Structures are given as structure tokens and as C-alpha cells.
Structure 1
């Protein structure tokens, strides 16, 4: 288990990406309730348990400031949750939030034990299977025309049946991984075709924020990594030209109808999706007591709280700020904001540092774009609910932890070898 823990976790992450579609088509034949919630909790519990056991066998927890702050955030939510919510409410969130932390630590330990080359090999295999799953379920939905019309567009949800935003975040993660592990290292025809096929599915989820933030993440890396003002200015001009071109492409075609509505309609902030988000935020704020606004309703309590407040069941917070404010109060929100600040500073220093990249994978770009997209640009996403893509991000945070802590040693080895 000591060396196999991460491999087993990756396998469960891969299989979990199909939980919604199997629950929709197969679970509904045998059960009258939504089996996706139970299935996802079981997958999360499995990953949580395997990573925890692996961590306990190693008997060493490394210290890394962003992960330390994240652990404090989880602890605050858990303490309030123990006194406010039932164990049934707490466990699903505890499994998800806990496994993110454990995945980062176990990834770090895996690389220390097996080496960075072996980790890269493991990730490439993982990415390949993620790509297969994405394309099979995505194009099966296209082929059978089983596409849901939601919020003014026909939105692909692939293996995340009924959840186009979840599918969009999953595809964004797979796209980044494919670009960095396959496309950029080797620009052959097959890799280009697969990239285009993944991009088509991603764009046709018609999720505005993941698409916009994916572009911003790559742009931010290109600008922030530069140390010379003139080069940064040239990149900035190039980015402006690309963005202007993309703007005219969107408003003059139906490539992204929901973004087109945002750009052209005076009522763009009144579409059903945005109105729902605003309504959830308002109902949550006005439904919380004074104590809850300070300390929160506790880990896993949002669904029950919102149902009790509005009578509506199965409602998610829809963005991380609201999630951590509602379950952690102003204390939890401030810790989460501090976590984001620390993480951004860490990312900024990381990409500007001389890091030894083994092979042809640019680990600095891979990590920055993934973590920046999902952790920093997350104020309109609910990525902590969809653990498949979020798990991938924390695996990459474990990689970043290793590269930062062992970079000086790696550089010494390379220099000595060169001599």
C-alpha cells in the first residue's frame, strides 16, 4: 500500500468520473432515488481511506504553508460541524475535503520514494485513460443526441450526466494535462486531433467561467513568469490582440452563445443561471443567524440549512466563497481568502524560480495553470463539490511541494553531473 496508494487513488478518480452517467442510466432502473450522491460518497470515502492509510504507514506529514492553511480551514469547518450537524451531513464533505489534503501529501511521498521520472510516467498513463473516458462519454452523448438544453444552450455533460459545469471543469483539467503531457512535448497529428476533440467537447459544455478562466490562467503564467518589462509588455499586447479577436469571434458566431449573451445583452446578469446564483447567496445570508455569520453552519451543513431555510432540497453553494462563508462564517471565509493569497504568492515565486524540469514536461506551467484556474479563479465555481477535477489539482499541488522542497538538491545533482 505504501507505494501503491497513489495508483489506487488515481484509479478511483478515473472511475468516479463516470458515476453520474451510470447512476442516471443504470441506478435509476433499480432505485427510486438519486444514487449518484451515494456513489460519489463511496468513491470519496475510498480515496480518503486509501490516502490516509498510506500516509499513516509513512508516519510523516510534511509542512507546506498553503496546505497548512488549508488544513486549518478544514479544522475550523469540522469543529463547528461537530456541534451543529449530524454525522451523515459531515462525512461526505469530510471525505472530499480530507482526501484533497491527503492526496497532496501522498503525491509528495510517492515522488520522494519513486522519483520524478516514475511519477511523470504514472501521470502520463493516468492522463491517457482520462482522455479515453472523456472522448468516449462525450461523443456518445453527441452521437445519440442526448444533450440537455439548459440556460439558453444545448450543453454537453458527458459522463457528468445532468451536470455540464462539472463536466466542463473535468474537461478543463484533462485539456491542461493533455496539452502539457502530450501535445506540447510531441506535436504530432494524433495529439493535435485529440486536443481538438477535447476542446470541442469543452467549448460545447457552454460553461462560461471555466472557459474564460482557462484562457486567463495561461495568459497569467506567460505574463507573471517574465522578469523583463519589455518582454512582458510585448506579451501583454499580444494577449490584447488575441482577446479582441476572440471577442469578435464570439459576438459574430454561435460558438459560445452564453458568452455572447453576456457581451451583447443588457440583461446578461439576469439570465436564469446568474439569477439562481444570486438568489442562493441572498437566501443563505439572510437565513443565517448572527453566530452563523461569524462561525458558520459547519462542515457539510449547507444542504440541510438551505432546505430548512427555503424548502428547496439538493441545492449547492455554487461558488467557493459562499461555500466557505456559509459553512465557516466570516472566520472560515477569511481563512480561505488567506489560503488563496498564500497560494498565489507561492505560485508566483514558484514559476519565477529556476526549477529543473525533467524530460519535456514544463511542470511549472502545468502546476500554475491548473492550480490558478481551480483554486484562485474559483469565486464562481463549485469545484470542491466535483472532486474528480479537484483531486487532480491537489495531486499537482503535491508535485509543486516536491519541486519546491527538493529543487536545490535536484539542481546540485544536475550541475555535478554536467561537470
Structure 2
């Protein structure tokens, strides 16, 4: 369960961004949106959903990109560029794209995350000097790094490595660690690499591969980040495929039928050497059964839904945090509201799954659907081009700027009560264009 993500000097977020899924104090109503997890004597609460609003180019996607970049860096364990350039989020592999483009002082980049997994609370952060925007030959360096488990700091690096209490992780030690603890600590302190994260290298190899495996597993499998969802294509593979065989998934077809398809059914057909399966529209109401590639026959919205639905199912089944860029594009609001309500349903969402997405659709600005602390905004300063992030709950409930639970959130947003909206008028551009045309 994700509780908080922070970053600083990531693209348009020059100042620190704090994206919190911890319920804001003094918020009432929609209590089914609150997830609870008991760890030791403490109860941690998290929101099961959040929706992010803001005009185009305000920085909404940069929040999701920052999460994705942090995840990518941690899993590969270093701040060197990745050889994989095919990933949609270029900043995750080409790190010189991360620093704010207006920064002239080479400010460091900061990432931090707080989440729960397998009965422990994990807090991990690091700061890296990546140079200036597009500075490719800069000697990169990890400036700081901290790991805390259940609110107790395990190690910190700033820039020297220091260890504190190892008691919270004694059940995760590698074999014979306690007998060799002093040697391991001395070796770790003397072998830091400027470009490598200690967590994923020295700590993993000499202290606790089990703990790092838990953290890596959550990042890899439960922190599901979909960057540029409009270009996503789900690739299905089958362990023992038969060429030209049709694989029909019952749950997916039932969901697709509810959503709307143009054929009798959908199925996957394996027809190449790498066992990848292609989605087909299937027809069985003719004398000869037929199959047509779904992308040629189904609507764009249906294809997007089919690609997204398995991820939603995985998130709910495994208690994942699903963060999606433009999750709602080309999908009818009624279908989207039903998905959101499922995440809000305590009887279905029993594994504490979370759904976070950005949108331009104002229909979700509804006090009966979202709590004030679940409605997030991003706006960008027209002079500095720096982005700021805040929640509707940050306005409080009293005074002229206060926001009360029963107010019309949508109406207030469009009259610029909350910011994160931009007046767009193309009229002068077209007037000039037409005037030049008449002159000719």
C-alpha cells in the first residue's frame, strides 16, 4: 500500500512534490475509501484512490513519470543510463532528462517513497547529483540514501555510510551475518560506489537479500505504473502454446461483453515463434467461423479497455497500487465510475488495492465519488514554468477559500476556485490566419 511519494527537481517540479495517499485530517464521509493495515502496534491508513487534475503541460504526467523513473533506477540499482531506449518514459533510461530545464545551479534530484508490504513499513530515499539538464558527460554521484523499517532507520549515507539499529531486520539477515557483522559493516563503508545505490548492491549482498527482495518485489510487481497508457499494448504469452489455437479467457470476455464489443467473442491466437499471442475478434454466427485481428474490427476504446482490464484485475487480486497516465481516455464515464466504485468497495477490494490516475474529465469532481483528499491538482507557473501540486483538502473547510463536502466541486473548478485550470482562446490565432488569407 503506497502511503507517500516525494521528489524534487524532477522536470517541472523544481520544488519538492509531496504526493500523499494518507488520509487528510478532519475529512468526513466516504470512509469506504480508507484502507487500514496493522503493523505491530500501529495502524496505517491509506486512500484507495486518487484523481489528478490540471491543464495540458501542467505536470500531471510528470508525477507519474517521476514514480516510474524512481522505480526504474532502484530496480537497476544505479544512476547510470539504461541501454533500453524503447521504454515510453525516456527519463527512466536517459537520466540527463530528469533535472529541471531552467535550473542553472545543478541542483540534486531527490526521490522518496513510503509503503507497506508483507507486514512491514518501508521508507526509502536517495538524492543524486545528475548535473544539469541534458548534461551527458557529468560525473554522477549518490549524495544521500536512507532506509527505515517500521519507523527505525537502518542505514543512512550522507555521504559516508552509517548504520543504526539492525534489530528490525534481524529476521531478514543473510546466513551467518551476525557472526560477521563487524566485517560486513567495515567492508560496506569502504566499498561505496558513487553511481550505485547501496540498498540494491552492498546491502543486498552482505546484509539482507531477503529484505531487498521484498522491496524489489513490491516495486516490480505491486507498484504498477502505466506511463502513456494510450500507447500500451498488453502482450499475452502462454506457457505451452499451440500454434493457430484460440485461447479465450472467460473473465476478460465477460468484462468485454459488459463494456461492448462488435464481435461474438475475443480470443488470443498464437502464430509466431516467440509465443506471443495476438488479440482477435471471433465470429461464430456464420457457416464458417472467422477471426479478425481485433485492432482492425473493434473500437479504439474497446482495445484500450481490453489492454487495461487485466491490470485492474491483477491490482485488485494482489493488492497492487495501479498508477495510470490518462487511464480514462476513450473509455465511457459509466464504465470508469464502476471501476472506481469497485476499488471503493470493501467487500471486493479486500487486498488494499489502489488506483491513481490523471484526467481532464470533470465528471470525477463529485463529492459522492471522491473525498477531498483524493482529488489532486497540478498547476504550472506561466513565468517560471515550475509545477506545484496540492489536494482539494488543502483548502480546509472554513473561510472564503474553504471547501465544504457538499459543494459543487465541478462548478467551482470551472470558475477557477481551485486553480489548476487555464483559459484557452484560439480566436486571435484564427482571426489573424483568416485576415492574411483575405489579404492574398
Shared fold by TM > 0.5? Answer: no
- Please report the TM-score for the alignment, with normalisation by the length of structure 1: 0.24
| Structure number with higher strand proportion | 2
| Greater Rg by CA | 2
Between the two structures, name the one with larger relative contact order (CA 8 Å, sep ≥ 6).
1
- Please report the TM-score for the alignment, with normalisation by the length of structure 2: 0.23
| Structure number with higher helix proportion | 1
